[in-house]
Amino acid sequence: MTQAELIAAAQTSKAWPFEEARKLVKRFPQGKPGGQPVLFETGYGPSGLPHIGTFQEVLRTTLVRRAYEALTGGAATRLVAFSDDMDGLRKVPDNVPNAAMLAEHLGKPLSRIPDPFGTHESFAHHNNAMLRQFLDQFGFDYEFVSASDRYNSGAFDNALRGVLRSNQAILDVMLPTLREERRKTYAAVLPVSPSTGEVLQVPVEVIDAENGIVRFEDGGQITEQCVFGGNAKLQWKVDWAMRWVDLGVDYEMCGKDLTDSVTQSGKIAQILGGRRPEGLIYELFLDENGEKISKSKGNGLTIDQWLTYGTEESLGFYLFREPKSAKQLHIGVIPRAVDEYWQFRGNLAGQELDKQLGNPVWHLLRANGAAAQAGASGGQGEVPASAGTQTLPVTYGLLLNLVGVLGPHATHDQVWTYLGNYVGDVDPAHHPELAKLVECALAYNRDYIGPSLHRRAPEPNEAMALAALDEELAATSDDTSAEDLQTMIYEIGKDPHYGFETLRDWFKCLYETLLGSSQGPRMGSFITLYGIGPSRKLIAEALERK
């Protein structure tokens, strides 16, 4: 694949990262003037522990960044992960220790509150470190920027001066959008109280914009204070707009709940002499009850949870799909994401270029630099053919069924004994990706599957069918293929003698009586993995329960 071929295919690709990147190409067809990098930004509010909703924004923005680079033949880009750690703590999150200690610091900037975990200099520093740790682990190319560092160092002073100069024009944008009660206390600039250290939500009078002097009431006293050097921060919609202008942000995406905020901040950015960046408005993730994920509630998945039960690649795959559609994000989505990732990865090498550009794996391999590390030509993100030839001998779903049958105390050695039927040896070091999935499957079974498994007794007609299957297996050699076993099982299920209305009823019987679950794998594949002898033992145990 030549660079010209890649650009031509990317110009017409319907993959959403290319659709987003083409918005930027209209602004900067060959990159910014003078070779300045096009700036992508993501925002993080460290008022709670980072969750996958935080991580997805960095991943998706990176996908657009790489798509833009492909479209322009390698125009310079930067990605800034910005932490809003000057925000005042409004409530104590439900999922952190030392809640009482945090409650004593409500209203103070997150970077000036002690760390409840006792490991960093502030609560914000702890949460920032958690975010960066995972972003580094995944291999993202980004620059971390802290609001507190920018405010405290004076780097934002000139931008604050511009806000003070345009204070009334900004109020004219914001006040009509607020409830009457909120208008009484709204200010574009939020001073930090010299007496309590809290970020104040009080009316502010601009006294001297050039020198940053404002007047406000603090604890019943009228106070004049310079807002420079970390003595104030901006109201967040104003802060967002200021950042776009001061940093020169060209692309930033956000959740659907910020649709109106994008409009208002865009108007403020114009007042400040800049423009609203391009960006995608994505749908929000929901928990298993259909409720919005919240950092303070802690009802979403943490990054560590996903990586306990799934892989990095499966996480990226799940986040890639359909960003404009709401999706549930809970433990139960992980197994399917793992298996679908490998299905798409196995398809990649044999696809035509236009299909490759629509394959999530093509984008994910570029996002973390895997393509370049594997020898992609010119650093332009050509995915090497070898990336698509890798498949797994068993699905994650099949592994979960195996460990479910083995029980909650299954061991690695037990699982690998059965996997030897598929991979030819039982040394995990020879199969690192499969070894990772075995580890994940054991954890998933221990925490979620094992406690919920219940093998029911078969109905009379089901018992007859199971006995027939056992008889067939008794006459079957151990080297019978999974496909032949599957055909055998089909034929029993289709036999009217056993009274199944559909094959689905027969397979449901197999899953519920043999595996203890309402869903399961292709039974031919399971029997091949588990073995004919052990499978017959499962049938015998089921027949004893009738």
How far apart (Å, rounded) are the C-alpha atoms in residues 47 and 61? 22
In terms of Cβ atoms closer than 10 Å to its own Cβ (0-12, 13-18, 19+), residue 132 is middle
Annotated domain spans of the chain: 3-168+236-282, 396-452, 460-544
Q: Are strands 205-208 and 254-255 parallel, antiparallel or unpaired?
A: unpaired
The predicted structure's pLDDT at residue 289: 79
The predicted structure's pLDDT at residue 376: 34
CB-based contact 241:266 (threshold 8 Å): yes
Q: At what angle do helices 52-72 and 312-320 cross, to 10 degrees?
A: 70
Write down the residue that tokens 């499957």 correspond to: 441
Q: Which helix (H) or strand (E) holds 44?
A: strand 38-44
What is the residue type of 433? Answer: E
The predicted structure's pLDDT at residue 388: 46
As assigned by CATH, the class of the 3-168+236-282 domain is: alpha beta
Name residue 109's beta-bridge partners: 88
Write down the residue that tokens 């000139």 correspond to: 158
The predicted structure's pLDDT at residue 174: 98
Q: Which tens digits make up the pLDDT trace of 473-496?
A: 999 999 999 999 999 999 999 999
In terms of Cβ atoms closer than 10 Å to its own Cβ (0-12, 13-18, 19+), residue 490 is middle
How far apart (Å, rounded) are the C-alpha atoms in residues 518 and 336? 15
The predicted structure's pLDDT at residue 299: 65
How far apart (Å, rounded) are the C-alpha atoms in residues 134 and 157? 32
| Residues in CB range of 425: below 8 A, 6 or more apart | none
Token pair for 162: 């511009």
Over the chain (546 residues), what is each successive 10-residue block's mean pLDDT?
92 97 96 95 85 85 97 96 95 89 96 96 94 84 96 98 98 97 96 97 97 97 97 97 98 96 98 97 86 66 89 94 91 95 94 95 81 36 50 91 90 91 83 94 92 92 97 94 96 96 96 92 93 95 90
In terms of Cβ atoms closer than 10 Å to its own Cβ (0-12, 13-18, 19+), residue 408 is middle
As assigned by CATH, the class of the 460-544 domain is: mainly alpha
Q: CA of 418: how far to CAs of 399, 406, 411, in Å?
A: 10, 10, 11
Across 165-322, the runs of DSSP E, i.e. the strands, are: 189-191, 205-208, 213-218, 221-226, 232-234, 254-255, 281-282, 285-286
Q: Which tens digits make up the pLDDT trace of 518-529?
A: 888 899 999 999
The predicted structure's pLDDT at residue 297: 63
The predicted structure's pLDDT at residue 298: 60
CB-based contact 482:522 (threshold 8 Å): yes
Q: CA of 283: how far to CAs of 95, 321, 328, 386, in Å?
A: 25, 11, 11, 34
CB-based contact 372:61 (threshold 8 Å): no
Helix, strand or coil, per DSSP, at residue 219? coil
The predicted structure's pLDDT at residue 187: 98
Token pair for 416: 């690998």
How far apart (Å, rounded) are the C-alpha atoms in residues 326 and 131? 23
The predicted structure's pLDDT at residue 453: 87
How far apart (Å, rounded) are the C-alpha atoms in residues 404 and 445? 6
Distance of CA 274 to the CA centre of its chain: 31
The predicted structure's pLDDT at residue 300: 67
Across 135-251, the runs of DSSP E, i.e. the strands, are: 143-146, 189-191, 205-208, 213-218, 221-226, 232-234
The predicted structure's pLDDT at residue 409: 84
Name residue 292's beta-bridge partners: 286
Q: CA of 227: how far to CAs of 83, 219, 511, in Å?
A: 20, 18, 66
Taking the complete model, does pTM exceed 0.85, yes or no? yes
